[in-house]
Structure 1
């Protein structure tokens, strides 16, 4: 085996559940705790030898938390690296680290991240502000191009600025594409999510370990309010968590020199990345992801793997639509186990850092069954930035490989989005957003007769109520002078 073969040698996940706001700890403290636990997981002392500290960007205000961590662990002359925003970057950083180790550029890497969404939520309810310490400085390297907005200008003009507004439209498009009734679709999706909840109940690191039934998940209630059509709160990512995680990666040679037991080693076989066309506004449709399809095909090719060969899978699960689309594109049946954690609703959704938890959990499982294979996928934005990798406890037949399918994706056609339009259109998809248990606005994606996309809003109470009960995808409509929408059939 090549001595530069990359492995994950240490993993850790941390939580902090507070009763009173005075008991909160900062994300940097969760990161540092996770790093120390990951070191303990390797059965040796090694943090002071780390060559690169890599931190996944969070919503905290720190400028260079990697430098602080390096100082605290006694690592001298260490590269400090950060990332842009995006849930894809956990896997991108692992891919980047594995490639650098394979090339002999690094032999010991520490990756970490954390969020305190639960503490921030509690502070907001109490009208208080959490104070963060000042961690100044610039990273030596930032992974990712300049930060792009998550939404097209024409989406923002219509007030569409959050994932909770876009993914429900993907979900309704999936329903229409599959020819399901509203009741059939809601039953199927809630059963899918109940399966995720069941997995979380067996995950010792999950935030919500009490299982939820499909009926509870799909039924709006005081504790499970309707967020959108068709999603209740229990179909949304749960960002109100205080969670951190850390991974330690190194070369086989470094692991041997440190005396890390081989029973701890898990191998990344290959990693692939690629971004779909930016924003829903220009996608061909709302029920597919060419980036996931092409990245998956390339990953399977590089690792000589078929979907049926996978023993463990964790698909990025911010919303049910993301899981359904990924499963479809990767050739995975929805009836199979598609998470090892329980997903972002039940295991916990610490914003950009979720996938570090899914990788850590995957490592734990592969250590118990080394001959098995696992797939982990990561998503950033509104089904936009994709990254994935295959792992196993058995050494790979060849060196780690990293690829990017962006050129193939960019060659695919994109739709034109119009700022406004007057005339006949077809409703492509829609959602109704709720506030204080009441429907407040409907967002509609419409296609002109020539296939251009245009966004529309409605606050007509009768229409919004009808949209909670009837199918409007595929309906003929008309946009007026003020972009008022009239459903024709």
Structure 2
């Protein structure tokens, strides 16, 4: 018999709404309601029983559809007495919420929790293109309460230099990784296609995927008019796609509450291990751009709690917004490049569809469904927010947990990450500099428009040299050259122009 305070996942649901008629298209609130009703149906409970919810947490949409979406959803579900929370932006939220509320349930703070979120950006965009405006507002007299503080992912200096959009930032990690691996540009591009081709195979088999199309490695890695470069070396097919209509919901309870609701124990999924970490926050301050101590510690702590090695986990869903996020996580977790396990159960953010901050809720839902089909096996889901900035992981199984559910305080292992020595940034560099990593931003016509560089002052021989951010001159020949040959390690001169650092590589 389980401890009554043992946290369990009892019901999951997800919705993908493609090509809806604009007259009947669902709002994000509609999608959340639908996914939640599916989760209740999955658990074998009635909609009326949702009125017993003690906590409702809504993962923030990229464009919040109404003033107070947690309140609006609670009213629809007949659960107005539930504590209502909204999360700030950050793709790590869904797994972090499972970790957080499993702990709260185990400590007796609550016993019935709904975690949900939705995006309807495809519908919203279609409405705007037709000359309309989404009529998604629900009257409210109060603003939502955030579960934890919001934080900008970039500082002013980074934003001024164009290093703030995810599609422009993650390529900086990618080129640093390529150099770290010792690969040529051509070899690495081929490997990126090979990394993502299996993701498309998973998406092609999923009824919930936005792009259920199997693609070859060459198709993914080759720039074409349909698959242009965005932030080089990433083609469009390597980018998270958020123009979708998707929602996912998870119901958590204590074992005692699950029994009182009448949920069959065959539905129960246990969180055997969990961990949460944060990297040194700003891109300016990272130790380097090809490793992550936060991810390494995450992998160590989640497996230690579960009492299982990384190689023993049966199913994986690594956060997959861009290839660099997958590769760095894989490296830090010690997963071999030729490991036969697939790295996704959904198809990933580029192919399943990246439902904004809530994508990992779809991962959790899919993992729960997969584990029920394979009783006794285990699955790990990871989540990432910011620019490899915030991380959460969970290891799930149908196997009951022996004894009391208890996790390690993340603050205990976060100290190791926070104590890292990292380069110092200067906002006003002058003189000679050496490129540490870079990317080239492309326009919609597939031509290069802007070079973003992260450099160190000096000739590259001093590991303690000051770091600086800069743009290159908008010279078409230079930008084209930066995509044909490796510019990491290239030297040049930096000057300021109206508050922007401009770095001109030498000898070109």
Scaled to the shorter chain, the TM-score interval is: over 0.9
CA shift digits 1:94-131 (9 cap, x unpaired):
11111111111211111110001211332344454323
Alignment of 1:17-28 (within 5 A): 17-28=18-29
Report the CA distance between 1:188 and its aligned residue: 0.7
Report the CA distance between 1:357 and its aligned residue: 0.2
Give secondary structure in 2 for the equivalent of 1:207.
coil
CA distance in 2, matches of 1:279, 1:342: 29
Report the CA distance between 1:178 and its aligned residue: 0.4
Q: Which moved more, 1:430-439 or 1:127-136?
A: 127-136
Given the two structures, how large is their TM-score scaled by the length of structure 2?
0.92
Corresponding position of 1:381: 386
CA distance in 2, matches of 1:48, 1:86: 28
Corresponding position of 2:15: 14
User: Does the CA contact (< 8 Å) of 1:6 and 1:400 recur in 2?
Assistant: yes
Give secondary structure in 1 for the equivalent of 2:432.
strand
5+ residue gaps, structure 2, are 459-463
User: Does the CA contact (< 8 Å) of 1:82 and 1:139 recur in 2?
Assistant: no
Give the counterpart of 2:93 among 83, 89, 108.
89
User: Does the CA contact (< 8 Å) of 2:27 and 2:65 recur in 1?
Assistant: no
5+ residue gaps, structure 1, are none
CA distance in 2, matches of 1:190, 1:175: 14
Given the two structures, how large is their TM-score scaled by the length of structure 1?
0.96
Report the CA distance between 1:61 and its aligned residue: 4.2
User: Does the CA contact (< 8 Å) of 2:268 and 2:398 recur in 1?
Assistant: yes
| Aligned-CA RMSD value | 1.7
User: Does the CA contact (< 8 Å) of 1:65 and 1:135 recur in 2?
Assistant: no
CA distance in 2, matches of 1:326, 1:135: 43
User: Does the CA contact (< 8 Å) of 1:218 and 1:232 recur in 2?
Assistant: yes
CA shift digits 1:387-432 (9 cap, x unpaired):
1111111012343333313222111112211112111211111111
User: Does the CA contact (< 8 Å) of 1:81 and 1:139 recur in 2?
Assistant: no
Corresponding position of 2:505: 487
Corresponding position of 1:278: 281
Equivalenced residue count is: 488
CA shift digits 1:198-222 (9 cap, x unpaired):
1111222211111111111111222
**Judging changes above 3 Å, is the alpha-carbon distance between structure 1 residues 28 and 429 closer, same or farther for their aligned structure 2 residues?**
same
Report the CA distance between 1:48 and its aligned residue: 1.7
Report the CA distance between 1:138 and its aligned residue: 4.6
User: Does the CA contact (< 8 Å) of 1:194 and 1:212 recur in 2?
Assistant: yes
Give secondary structure in 2 for the equivalent of 1:8.
strand
User: Does the CA contact (< 8 Å) of 1:7 and 1:250 recur in 2?
Assistant: yes
Corresponding position of 1:439: 448
Report the CA distance between 1:338 and its aligned residue: 0.9
Give the counterpart of 2:159 among 153, 156, 171.
156
Report the CA distance between 1:181 and its aligned residue: 0.5
CA distance in 2, matches of 1:141, 1:97: 17
Within the alignment, does 1:351 sit opposite 2:352 as a pair? no
Give secondary structure in 2 for the equivalent of 1:165.
helix
Corresponding position of 1:367: 372
**Judging changes above 3 Å, is the alpha-carbon distance between structure 1 residues 155 and 140 closer, same or farther for their aligned structure 2 residues?**
closer
Corresponding position of 2:493: 478
Corresponding position of 1:320: 323
CA distance in 2, matches of 1:85, 1:21: 27
